[in-house]
Amino acid sequence: MKTSPTRRLLAALCLLGATGIVHAQLYVYEGFDYTVGSTLPPAEQSGFGWAGGWYNYANTSNTAGSRGIVTAGSLDAPPDMVTTGHHLRRDTVSAAGERVFAEANRINTEHNNVVFFSVLGSVSGNSWSFGLYSDRGRTDNPVVAFSLTGGGATMRLYDAYPYESADGAFTRTIASGVTGTFLWVGRLETSAGNDRLDSWIYTDLAAVPDLMPVLQAIPGPGVVPGSNVNIYDVDALIDRVGYSLAAGSALDEIRIGNDWQSVVMGASAVPEPSTYAAILGALAIIGAVIHRRRNRSGTAA
C-alpha cells in the first residue's frame, strides 16, 4: 500500500519533533560565543539555561579580576560533538569565573537526581579546575570539583556544609600525566543522605564515540580509569558553575543534561520555542487537511 505525501510529511514532522525532544535533554549550555578579546563581561551572555552572565564571584556580583580572554574558535572535540562559538584561555594573570543557573535548572541535592555534565579543557602543565557550586552565600563553597595540577587529575565530592573542615569530603586521583586537550565527563547522583559522583577524563578524543555511553564503575576500553564516591550527605542547592585557569590552560563547551548523549554527543543547542511552535503549527495544518480530505471522501461516497 502506498503512503500518501501528506502522511509521509506528517511522519517526517513527527520525527523532527521527537529529535527536538531528545536535544532538549541538554538544558544548560555554554559555548563561549562572545566577542573575541573580551573577558566575559556579565552584560554579554551566550548559551542557554543561565540566569545571568559571568562574574568573578557570581553570588556577590563581583567583577574584579580577569575571567580569561575569549579566543577565536573552539577547542578540539570528539567527532560527534558539535561545538559553537569560541573558547576561553588564561590571560596574563590567573582567570576565574562563576555563572548561575536559571532557577529551573538548579539541583536540589536532597532530592533524587541524576545529572550528567561535561567540559572541554586544555592544559600544558599548570593548573586547571572546574566545579559545581552551592548557594551557601559564600565565595568558595564547591560541591563537586575537578582539578588538574602538574598533569595530575583529581575529583572531589564535598559535604557542602561545613565546607571549611571538608567534613565528609573525598578526593581521588583519577589520572596522571594529562596534557593537551581533554574532555571531562561527570555523573552526579543525589538523594537524601547518599550521593555519588562518577568522573572520567578522555584524553583520546577520537575514541570517545566508540566508548560505552553509560558511565560505569569499571570504564570501557580507552578510558583513563574513573572513580566513584559515596558520601553520607551533600546538603546544598547547586546553583552555579565556576572555574579557575592558570598559565597555559583553556576552557570550552560546558554542558549539563540528564543523559550521556546530551553532554557528549550530538548538537550543541536545543530548538528555540519558535521551532516547536512551527512544528506544532505544521502538524495542526496537516491534521486539518487530512480531516478535510476524509470528509470529502465520505461525502462523495
Give DSSP secondary structure letters for 225-294.
EEEEEEES---SEEEEEEEEE-TT-EEEEEEEESSHHHHHSB-S-PPPHHHHHHHHHHHHHHHHHHHHHH
pLDDT tens digit sequence for 111-123: 888 899 999 999 9
The residue among 163, 160, 27 whose CA lies nearest residue 101 is 27
Residue 248 is placed in which grid cell? 597555559
Instruction: Enumerate the β-bridge partners of residue 128.
Output: 148, 245
What local confidence, expressed as pLDDT, does residue 138 receive?
Answer: 55
Q: Which CATH class is domain 27-270?
A: mainly beta
* pLDDT at res. 237: 84
Give residue 13's pLDDT.
39
What single-letter DSSP state applies at residue 3? P
DSSP 24: T
- Please state, in angstroms and rounded to a whole number, the distance separating the CA atoms of residues 187 and 190: 10
How much is the pLDDT for 296?
Answer: 54
List the chain domain ranges: 1-24+271-301, 27-270
Q: What pLDDT does 269 receive?
A: 57
Give the β-pairing of 195-202 and 180-190.
antiparallel
DSSP-derived pairing of the beta strands 250-257 and 113-123: antiparallel
- Tens-of-pLDDT digits for all 301 residues of the chain? 444 544 444 444 343 443 333 443 899 999 999 999 999 989 989 999 999 999 998 888 889 889 999 999 999 999 888 898 999 999 888 999 999 999 999 998 888 888 999 999 999 878 999 999 887 655 557 788 899 998 888 888 876 555 444 445 677 778 888 889 999 988 888 877 677 788 888 888 888 876 655 444 444 433 444 455 556 566 678 999 999 999 889 999 999 998 888 898 877 655 444 334 444 444 455 455 455 555 555 555 5
- The structure's pTM equals 0.77
How far is Cα 186 from Cα 195, in angstroms, rounded to an integer? Answer: 13
Query: Do the Cβ atoms of 109 and 98 come closer than 8 Å?
Result: no
Residue-wise pLDDT tens digits, 59-96: 888 898 899 999 999 999 998 888 989 999 998 889 99
